[in-house]
Amino acid sequence: MAPAVIIVGAGGNLGPSMVRALLAHKGDFRRVAILAAPEKKGKFADFEAQGVELVLGDYKDSKPYNGFDVVISLAGNDIMKFQPQMIDAAVAAGVRHFYPSEFGVDISQTPFLSERYFRDKHVTRDHLRAKAKEVPELCFTYVIIGVFGETFALSPAFGVDREKKEFTFYGDPESERSFSSMVDSARYTVESILIPLPPGKQERSLRVPNGNWKVKDAIKILGEVQGLEYTCNIKPLNEARELQEKSRQSGDTGEELAFSLKALFGTPYATVPEPWDNSKFSFTPMTLQEMFMSFFEK
């Protein structure tokens, strides 16, 4: 029987791409749905008009998950810590495949096991493994993509200041990083639902970045696509760590996480380890230039 899929957190940055990827494969699924709070119903009217089912309710309650086989969590930092409750509710309703909100670097690497920024993701992974011991039919998939090109280009989180035409980077700009587009990451996720895990296996990691590019080349390509030239401010990696600790001591969690992310982007571990799994899928991902062009030329 074709699986029924529901998305939690579809209102975030990755949500529209994920819904469109599901719609492109709608014939492969029994149901395609978005779980939303009642007050956010209007936000998804366009997708509802295209045949996406809208389920209203609380993601921590089991009722909205009734009749679904697969949950894709796109939880942002603000609700990441509630994923264990989401998992319990979904599994109680019969869900047997869970995609936690990963969509970043490979946090299983030793330096990231105690990284503050990934604390809630590690708690979620531990909870999934414990739940899988209780429910042998439960499986879960991590989608590892590196850094979203859209976030790199449009958010100051990774050092790009479009107004000042400046790029601030903590680390070695000659080093490579893994970049991905939200569109391709969503396509990988949706196609992977149709690829069953091997018998007896409950945990799967899919490493599917679009590719690796040197940091200095990434900012050059971004500038070329935008028709401008960025001034690069290169700083030592330990400076970001010092600012992270200073923010922690002052109790500014937002700044602490911001500098934690900048420090993470400066390490070589922000590159997705090979081997990758791209060849298991039906399409060729965009290059970094195509990625930038796709959202600056809209």
pLDDT of residue 298: 58
Residues 223-248 pLDDT 10s: 999 999 999 999 999 999 999 999 99
Convert the pLDDT of each residue in 84-108 to its tens digit.
999 999 999 999 999 999 999 999 9
Two structure tokens written together for 158: 């990774």
12 burial (CB, 10 Å; 0-12 / 13-18 / 19+) is middle
Average pLDDT, the chain: 95
What pLDDT score was predicted for residue 253?
86
Q: Which domains does the chain have, with CATH numbers?
A: 4-146+180-210+272-281 (3.40.50.720), 151-175+213-266 (no CATH)
| 224, amino acid identity | E
For residues 154 and 112, is the Cβ–Cβ distance under 8 A? Answer: no
- Summarised one tens digit per residue, pLDDT across range 173-223 is 999 999 999 999 999 999 999 999 999 999 999 999 999 999 999 999 999
